[in-house]
Amino acid sequence: MNNLRQRLQQGDVLLGQMVLELFTSGIGPMLAACDLDFVIFDMEHGRCDIALLAEMIASCRGSNIVPMARVPDVNFAPLSRALDLGARGVMVPRVETRQQAEDIVSQLKYAPQGKRGVALGIAHDLYRAGTPEVFAQTNEEIVVILLLETVRAFENLEDIVSVPGVDIAWIRSHRLHGHPCRLHPPAPARRHGRSGRRLPQARRRPRFPAAHGRLRCPLDQQGLPRH
């Protein structure tokens, strides 16, 4: 069974891979052989559609890798379709409001926590007859990941991350630095130390530490991981 969510709540360091191009039937075992914990199949930017997602999730069976899906959009419906194929978590892009976060959790959780539709004896439960315990157990295992990528999401941060059932809030800070959600004009990078590695000029601005602190506080209060 999937204990990824439990390990996440315990503060364990988990390693995974986002897949955008290498959609091969051996991807699950290959990543498991690298001692990775999870894989996220990207349906937003890659060529992965719902049929290919089903094949990729099936490739993970028999290994210890936990498959998850990054859906194309917050309005992808129903979100639970990815779960019915066997995904053990869903990443949703461009979440901006508490209402959206609540609706996402509701779609991905069975009653009474949500309104996920019931279909048993299919891919997600390996075609076995379900028992009454499967609903609560599945609710405990499914990982809910929200991508916060816009100024509006940043303004509603506290309300979003306080929604029960949200496991990960991924702050896409590089999206906030650029068009169309720019917090400040882009600035040239500078070289750092002997390595010559280039660092964003934005991180030297006085506003950056303050903004970073604003991001950390609500996430820490809810016990959510930060990226």
- SS3 per residue for the chain: CCCHHHHHHCCCCCCEEEECCCCCCCHHHHHHHCCCCEEEEECCCCCCCHHHHHHHHHHCCCCCCEEEEECCCCCCCCCHHHHHCCCCEEEECCCCCHHHHHHHHHHHCCCCCCCCCCCCCCHHHCCCCCCCHHHHHHHHHCEEEEEECCHHHHHCHHHHHCCCCCCEEEECHHHHHCCCCCCCCCCCCEEECCCCEEECHHHHCCHHHHHHHHHHHHHHHHCCCCC
The first and second tokens of residue 160, run together, are 């979003």
CATH architecture of the domain with range 4-222? Alpha-Beta Barrel (3.20)
What residue type is assigned to position 9 of the chain?
Q
Which range (93-97, 121-125, 171-175) has the least confidence?
171-175
Q: Read off the tokens for 114.
A: 């949500």
Q: How far apart are the first and last CA of the chain?
A: 26
Q: In the structure, what pLDDT confidence band is assigned to residue 227 with cuts at 50, 70 and 90?
A: low
Give 194's pLDDT tier (boundaries 50, 70, 90). Answer: very low
Is the per-residue pLDDT at 156 higher than 80? Answer: yes
Contact (CB, 8 A) for 96 and 150: yes
pTM metric for this prediction:
0.78
Place of tokens 């075992």: 29
Q: Radius of gyration over alpha carbons of the chain, in Å? A: 19
Tell me whether the omega of the peptide bond preceding residue 218 falls within 30 degrees of 0, making it cis.
no
Q: What are phi and psi of 96, to 5 degrees?
A: -125, -20
Q: Is the pLDDT of residue 189 over 70?
A: no
Q: State the average pLDDT over residues 92-113.
A: 96
Is residue 130 predicted with pLDDT exceeding 80?
no
The whole-number pLDDT of residue 195 equals: 38
Mean pLDDT, the chain, as a whole number?
82
- Residue 211 pLDDT greater than 80, yes or no: no
pLDDT for residue 185 is more than 70: no
Share of the chain above pLDDT 70, in %: 75
Residues facing 148 on adjacent strands = 171
Give me the pLDDT at residue 181, please: 37
pLDDT at residue 176, rounded to an integer: 57
pLDDT recorded at residue 222? 59
What's the rounded mean pLDDT across residues 14-33?
A: 93
